Structure 1
Amino acid sequence: MEYLPNIVFAIALILGVGYFVRNVKKLIRNIKLGQDVDVSDNKSQRWKNMINIALGQSKMVRRPISGVLHVIVYLGFIIINIEVLEIIIDGLLGTHRVFSGMGSFYGFLIGSFEILAVLVFISVIVFWIRRNVIKLKRFLSAEMTGWPKNDGNFILYFEMVLMTLFLVMNATDAPFQAMDNGNIISQYIAPWFSGLSEGTLHLIERGAWWMHILGILVFLNYLYFSKHLHILLAFPNTYYGSLTPKGKVNNLESVTNEVKLMMDPNADPFAAPTEGAEDETPAKFGASDVQDLNWVQLLNAYTCTECGRCTSSCPANLTGKKLSPRKIMMDTRDRLEEVGKNIDANGGEFKDDGKQLLGDYITHEELWACTTCNACVEECPVSINPLSIILDMRRYLVMEQSAAPMELNNMMTNIENNGAPWPYNQMDRLNWKDE
């Protein structure tokens, strides 16, 4: 019986970490469903981007109020959870505050953690008020109802409870520990428990300790189902973010090769195809489903924080159009999850479910409302590129289905026939000067 708590702790730790690893494997599998893309260039710049944007939160603080609060929560929550290492060692070995032997430095750490815990708690309350009392417009979009809205609140409740448990744990344990003024905040909570026996204080402290570590394990596994997956994915996402200038659109290699062939005076258009080429499936232009997107775009979808900065800066959305860049990313992630579940249900193989990202999730109207201004790309605090998905799906509509709006079809016809977007014969272009 003496080692029963340690055994229970070990089982909880194995189950919690094991389920997390299982979900991470599923996440990686889903992302790898995307097309391959080479992002091995300019590694030094990629590391700089990751350090500045993901770690340094440089784009987050462009909006000072939410940015500073997010930095407090981010740093506070990460730093406070350094104590999880001590909890794990104590839980496995049966020790109690194994690092307390560091003396005054340990007290300094605990005191710093407690100050951060209070700052995190206050910041989370402000976030909750902004979402539920002030009701900022960017949290009231059509896509932010149901689960997305509840998810945003659930994580705030999680953080408030975990910070409270941390402080209660310290307050009820302080009378039995020499933490050298480490209980800077918990000393004001300790009077709430005055008059209780030592046994009762130990019971409360142990209860808070268990709930704290179990809460962290639950939080860890909740991430996969939450928008807060960006806590983990912001780092690889900013590393693999596009380094090309905004506004530069990549060319389809198959189309480029075709144009080069047409422009080469020495090329024989009637030459026989290379060996094996006749058996190859023609390349698909653009994207109609998540498997047609590249893996970085799928990583983008999983990294989306649903903060709405992209949508709140989108000129199409601001003028009443249906387009919401945030919804584009959420729809991509939802469809990718649906495809992943299909694969799980069919023994590792995807079976056509009669659905696709285009049409069932994202409408033509949304895609054609985009002005390709890159405002959404510029605003995203974790280097997500909704525009790249929009452009790939537009390519599919134009090149595979000839389903562009009439104005675009007319323009492209004019370019093909007249070499210009206007409906005038090349011989008549200068007639205006005679008028």
Structure 2
Amino acid sequence: MYYLQRIIFLILTFAGIGLFVRNILKIRRNILLGKAENRSDNSLLRWQLVLRIAIGQGKMLSRPISGILHMVVYIGFVIINIELIEIFVDGILGTHRYFGKVLPSSIYNLTTETVDILSFSVLIAVAIFFIRRNIIKVPRLNSKDLLGWPHKDGNLILIIEFLMMLSLLIMNAADFTLQKMGILHSCGFFPISTFLFKNLFSSFSVESLHIWQKSAWWFHYMGVLFFLNYLYFSKHLHIIFAFPNTYYANLHQKGQINNLEFITKEVKLLLDPNADPYQISPEESVPEKLGASEATDLSWIQLLNAYTCTECGRCTLSCPANLTGKKLSPRKIMMDVRDRIEEIGRNMDKNGFFLDDGKQLLGDYITTEELWACTTCNACVEACPLLINPLSIIIDMRRYLVMEKTAAPNELNTMMSNIENNKAPWQFSQNDRANWSKE
């Protein structure tokens, strides 16, 4: 029985981690379906962003209630993994609280006390998140772009986290009770666990306590493996991708829109009377596509943004177009991009290559009405706690509509015609531009 438990533990561990690695490699494949983009400049500043934004949660506290609760969950999960390491070691070696035997008791007691307090803190924070989402019904967590699976996903992940923390507290309380009975060697300090479950476990038999302790131990570890592999289907991928996404963030000013190299060269040729019109080779004169109509037309950075999105809704809550009742939701833009690239990935898994399914990102997922509702104010970019840039996707899809389909709204077509004919956005001759000053 002793060796069987270790074998089962190893099988579950290898299966869980192996499945997780396979899923992460799938996502990596999907992200790299995007166009190349170089973000290797200024590595020092990029690492500073990772420390401040991803690790330090620098933008979360702009909304204090959710920000503080998120900090509790974040710090709690990071430190609680110390106990997970011990569970892993005990599972491999078949020991009981291995670190309690090899570390000084003062250090081990301080560590277990901290983990115990943080486990309870995370449990409370997760419960408050659940109440805010389902009872108080915070608007940004219950909008129409979260109907269906996204809303269920948010609740399911909270339930999983709650049960994992509860199992850890039960495990520690049963363990400590067995230690007090002299059944297990004495190590660790668990003030919250013993306070919560002292009366419950004081009347239990040794056999019952062993069952509770081992059941909670196994439940917590299997919960970790389940959670690890559930990430693939969940918005909680940001736990992993927040770090590379922050590192590869756009370092330019938020109002700066990138120019297309092809268009820049064409304009320079038009403005320079001495330019040689044949200096651009035929191969580079006309790109395959201007802008983006499909997820694979976007850059790998933009696809990484989509996988990193936490669906928190801060971008949509800050969007003036959305606030005035228009259909645009920056959060939905990111979710649509992720859904489409996932669909393309599944298509490739099934067929060995991408078999045209008659759909594309523009039209089937994101409508032109959404794209043209954007004011390019950058409020969504400023609001995002992980430096995601929905605006860059909107701009690229607009470029496709204008330069490939000549499908700009009438107001824009009129303005561009006026600029071409009158050298100004207004519909009167440039000779009359100074008439306003004659009075």
Match of 1:147 among 149, 153, 156: 149
Query: Offset of 1:200 from its aligned partner?
Result: 1.7
- In the alignment, which residue of structure 1 is the partner of 2:213? 205
Between the aligned partners of 2:279 and 2:9, the Cα distance in structure 1 is 69
Name the SS for the 1:153 alignment partner.
helix
Q: 1:377 to 1:199 in 2, by over 3 A?
A: same
Asked if the contact 2:100–2:187 (Cα under 8 Å) also holds between the matched residues in 1, the reply is no
Counterpart AA for 2:83: E
Deviation at 1:267, TM superposition (A): 2.5
- The structural deviation recorded for 1:92 is 1.1
Gaps of 5+ in 2: none
Distance change (3 Å), C-alpha of 1:278 and 1:203: closer
Moved over 3 A (4+): 177-181, 271-274, 277-283, 431-435
Note the alpha carbon deviations across 1:389-410, whole angstroms, 9 max, x for none: 0111011111111111100000
CA contact (8 A) 1:342 1:350 kept: yes
Q: 1:279 to 1:164 in 2, by over 3 A?
A: closer
Residues 75-114 of structure 1 show CA distances to partners (whole Å, capped at 9, x for unaligned) of: 1012112211111111111111100122221111111101
1:241 alignment partner AA:
A
Q: Compute the displacement of 1:285 (Å).
A: 0.9
- Find 1:110's aligned residue among 105, 108, 112: 112
Please state how far the C-alpha of 1:250 moved relative to its aligned partner: 0.7
Aligned amino acid, residue 79 of structure 2: I
Alpha-carbon separation, structure 2, partners of 1:279 and 1:358: 25
Q: SS at 1:84's partner residue?
A: helix
8 Å CA contact retained: 1:106, 1:179:
no
Q: Which residue of 2 aligns with 1:361?
A: 365
Q: Identity rate of aligned residues, in percent?
A: 60
In the alignment, structure 1 segments of 5+ residues that lack a partner are: none
Shift in alpha-carbon separation, 1:294–1:272, aligned structure 2, 3 A: closer
Cα distance, 1:191 vs. partner?
2.2
Q: Partners of 2:285 and 2:414 in 1: how far apart?
A: 33
Q: Secondary structure in 1 aligned to 2:251?
A: coil
Higher deviation after alignment, 196-205 or 224-233: 196-205
Q: Equivalent residue for 1:331?
A: 336
In the other structure, the counterpart of 2:80 is: 80
Identify if the C-alpha distance between structure 1 residues 385 and 345 changes in structure 2 by more than 3 Å, giving closer, same or farther.
same
Distance in structure 1 (CA, Å) of the matches to 2:378 and 2:362: 21
User: CA 1:279–1:185 in structure 2 vs 1: closer, same or farther (change >3 Å)?
Assistant: closer
The CA deviation at 1:264 is: 2.8
Alignment pair present for 1:316 and 2:321: yes
Query: What is the CA-CA distance between 1:350 and the residue it aligns to?
Result: 1.1
Q: Over residues 381-430 of structure 1, what are the superposed CA-to-partner deviations in whole Å (9 max), with x where a residue is unaligned?
A: 01100000011101111111111110000000111111111112222323
Partner-residue secondary structure (3-state), 2:2: coil
The answer to which of 192-201 and 331-340 deviates more is 192-201
Q: Is the 8 A contact 1:397 1:404 kept in 2?
A: yes
Aligned residue number for residue 160 of structure 1: 162
Q: Distance in 2 between matches of 1:196 and 1:248?
A: 66
* TM-score (norm: length of structure 1): 0.96
Structure-2 separation of matches of 1:381 and 1:37:
22
1:284 to 275, 285, 289: 289
TM superposition shift of 1:281: 6.8
Question: Structure 1 residue 181: deviation in Å?
Answer: 6.1
Measure how far apart 1:357 and its partner are.
Answer: 0.6
Task: State the match for 1:55 in structure 2.
Answer: 55
Corresponding position of 1:35: 35
**Which of 246, 267, 274 is the equivalent residue of 2:275?**
267
Q: Is the 8 A contact 1:111 1:183 kept in 2?
A: yes
Question: What's the CA shift for 1:354?
Answer: 0.9
Distance 2:185 2:92 in 1: 23
Q: Counterpart of 1:81 in 2: which secondary structure?
A: helix
**What letter is aligned with 2:235?**
K
Q: What residue number does 1:90 align with?
A: 90
Partner of 1:423, secondary structure, is: coil
TM-score, scaled to structure 2: 0.95
Which of 211, 218, 223 is residue 215 of structure 1 equivalent to? 223
Contact conserved, 1:254 with 1:283, CA < 8 A, in 2? no
User: 1:120 aligns to what SS in structure 2?
Assistant: helix
Secondary structure in structure 2 of the residue aligned to 1:53:
helix
Task: State the Cα deviation string for residues 199-221 of structure 1 (Å, max 9, x = none).
Answer: 22111111111111000000000
Give the whole-Å Cα distance in 1 for the aligned partners of 2:436 and 2:116: 76
Partner of 1:235: 243
The reply to whether residue 45 of structure 1 matches residue 45 of structure 2 is: yes
Q: Distance in 1 between matches of 2:116 and 2:372?
A: 51
Question: How many angstroms apart in 2 are the aligned matches of 1:242 and 1:391?
Answer: 15
Q: In angstroms, what is the RMSD of aligned CA positions?
A: 1.5
